[in-house]
Amino acid sequence: MKYLIRKGRLVDPAGGIGGVMDILLEDGRVAVIGSDLCDPSAQVIDAAGLTVCAGLVDMHVHLREPGFEYKETIATGAQAAAAGGFTSIACMPNTKPVIDCPEGVAFVKERAAQATGAQVFPIAAVSKGQLGQEVNDYEALKEAGAVALSDDGVPVQNANLLRDAMILAHRQGLAILSHCEDADMVQNFAVNEGRVSRQLRIPGRPAIAEELQVMREAMLAEETGAAVHICHISTAKSVSIVRRYKKKGVRITCETCPQYFTFTEEEVLNQGSLARVNPPLRTSADVEGIIEGLKDGTIDAIATDHAPHAAEEKSRPLTQAPSGMIGLETSLAASLTALYHTGEMSLSDVLRKMTVNPAGILRLPNKGRLAVGADADLVLFDPNEEWVVDPEGFRSMARNTPFAGKTLKGRVKYTILGGEIIYQEQ
Ligand code: DOR
Ligand code: ZN
Ligand code: ZN
């Protein structure tokens, strides 16, 4: 199908085309961008009043297949992504079995090929079984289609293994995506160590547990020359460590997620297990530090860390429920609400962190930019439409979002992948 998208407001943080324009999509690519285009053989999409941007890229999601299909499958996750405006998502390997061999990567790719939503890019594990003892064969994993390496969910505790992994990953041109938390310090604790943990009289996960490992990762990146990416950065001090090492020219990048610039640890008092996530929601000073890091470019990307869990699991008491929250279907609106509609950031700067930057970190060619010749991956959204989050309407199998019942501003209307509509608002 050939589409002519008419009179949308183009935002391309990468290339700088802007303003109200028409776009012709043909053979899976952006064929023409211009004013008053006409093509009688194309189907017209009226985009007046809508923002048109490259399809969103989420570099950090959990799709739970194989092994935990009762939480989410690759197919449902890819559809949830499409509904959220995402055309490319990278999925974490903490499945059962762990994706640590070429056959595992091939399995994810096979399931992804059958899915009708966003394009799925597999991330493979840093260590065998994510046990932190033995590195995997990164050359074979890359050959099979892995786009990055991560033990997310089970942070790497062995600095020597991480150092070896960085050297080997560097040779393959693969980034390591690191969940930074010292396991001994955080154990299986449920919330940030601070006011709320004291009030609830439970042990907490201290900020220093994250910051120590962010510092470790930064120093190892400096020493090895390898690229390291910090997942879901959540404290102000973590941001300042990354800022300092970036200034030195070290190849360190980082992401945060909407929950870390929207909520504080206090949310646990309102929402209990639904507000449980690793790393935990922090303090208002941390939220300020995160927003500062987004504004000055220290934080490169906004990811979701979409972490689906079953309703029964999340209904357990705070200390027994699994950590994580879903995010694919709220991320754009939550980011616009907290960062753009508050006047903190421009629309283009927010979108940069959801398109070209994550595509660049994962080295996904032709993704994250809206230019003639690029893949026809686009999102059309109304940045000003308000809606109340109702998880019952989600494509995801899971409902565990702390945004339920909240009013957000920004509504996805169409998501287009390779020139085909993969989501249209009903
Ligand atoms: O809260 C989290 N949930 N943090 C992680 O690192 C893993 C994730 C999950 O897999 O549920
Ligand atoms: Zn993580
Ligand atoms: Zn994660």
DSSP string, 386-412: EEE--GGG-SSS----TTTT-EEEEEE
Residue that is written with structure tokens 């279907």 in the block: 329
Collapse the DSSP code of 373 into the 3-class scheme (helix H, G, I; strand E, B; otherwise coil) and give the result: coil
Cα separations in angstroms, 340 against 138, 159, 291, 337, 343: 39, 39, 11, 6, 5
What is d(CA 64, CA 122) in angstroms, rounded to the nearest whole number? 12
What is d(CA 159, CA 164) in angstroms, rounded to the nearest whole number? 9
- How far does residue 152's CA lie from ligand 2's centre (Å)? 5
Superfamily of domain 3-51+375-424: Urease, subunit C, domain 1 (2.30.40.10)
Residue 14 predicted with pLDDT over 90:
no
Q: Which atom of ligand 1 is nearest to the CA of 231?
A: 6
Residue whose CA is at the smallest distance from ligand 1 atom 7: 153
Q: Same fold for the domain at 3-51+375-424 and the one at 56-361?
A: no
If one residue of 314, 323, 328, 401 were mutated to test the ligand 1 pocket, choosing by the most ligand atoms within 8 A of its CB, it would be 323
Residue that is written with structure tokens 């070209």 in the block: 356
Give the tens place of pLDDT for each residue, 180-220: 999 999 999 999 999 999 999 999 999 999 999 999 999 99
What is d(CA 54, CA 319) in angstroms, rounded to the nearest whole number? 40
Write down the pLDDT at residue 363: 97
Counting residues of the chain whose pLDDT is more than 70, the rounded percentage is 100
Q: Which atom of ligand 1 is nearest to the CA of 179?
A: 6
* Model confidence band, residue 1 (pLDDT cutoffs 50, 70, 90): confident
Write down the pLDDT at residue 311: 98
Q: Which residues contact ligand 1 via a Cβ below 6 A? A: 62, 94, 152-153, 179, 277-278, 307, 322-324
* Model confidence band, residue 18 (pLDDT cutoffs 50, 70, 90): confident
Backbone dihedral region of 292: left (phi > 0), alpha (psi from -120 to 50 degrees) or beta?
Answer: alpha
Q: Could you tell me which CATH number the domain at 56-361 has?
A: 3.20.20.140
Domain ranges of the chain: 3-51+375-424, 56-361
If one residue of 59, 62, 205 were mutated to test the ligand 1 pocket, choosing by the most ligand atoms within 8 A of its CB, it would be 62
Q: Which atom of ligand 1 is nearest to the CA of 155?
A: 6
What is d(CA 212, CA 157) in angstroms, rounded to the nearest whole number? 11
Total residues belonging to the chain: 426
Collapse the DSSP code of 151 into the 3-class scheme (helix H, G, I; strand E, B; otherwise coil) and give the result: coil
Q: State mean pLDDT over 228-233.
A: 98
What is d(CA 18, CA 69) in angstroms, rounded to the nearest whole number? 42
Cα separations in angstroms, 205 against 238, 241, 280: 15, 19, 7
The residues that are catalytic are 305
Q: Tokens for 380? A: 């059309």
Q: Which atom of ligand 1 is nearest to the CA of 278?
A: 1
Give the tens place of pLDDT for each residue, 113-144: 999 999 999 999 999 999 999 999 999 999 99
If one residue of 98, 152, 179, 182 were mutated to test the ligand 1 pocket, choosing by the most ligand atoms within 8 A of its CB, it would be 152
Specify the pairing of strand 378-388 against strand 51-54: antiparallel
Q: State mean pLDDT over 311-325.
A: 98
Provide the β-strand partners of residue 119. 88
* Model confidence band, residue 315 (pLDDT cutoffs 50, 70, 90): very high
Q: Tokens for 168? A: 């080997």
Provide the β-strand partners of residue 6. 46
- How far does residue 401's CA lie from ligand 3's centre (Å)? 15
- How far does residue 94's CA lie from ligand 3's centre (Å)? 9
Provide the β-strand partners of residue 382. 411
List of residues 6+ apart from 383 with CB closer than 8 A: 51, 336, 340, 347, 409, 410
* Model confidence band, residue 15 (pLDDT cutoffs 50, 70, 90): confident
pTM summary value: 0.98
Residue whose CA is at the smallest distance from ligand 1 atom 3: 324
CA torsion sign for 283, 284, 289, 293 is positive
- How far does residue 179's CA lie from ligand 3's centre (Å)? 7
Mean pLDDT over all residues of the chain? 97
CA torsion sign for 401, 402, 404, 409 is negative
- State the DSSP code for 212: H
Q: State mean pLDDT over 171-179.
A: 97
Backbone dihedral region of 366: left (phi > 0), alpha (psi from -120 to 50 degrees) or beta?
Answer: left
Q: State mean pLDDT over 377-393.
A: 98
What is d(CA 165, CA 126) in angstroms, rounded to the nearest whole number? 7
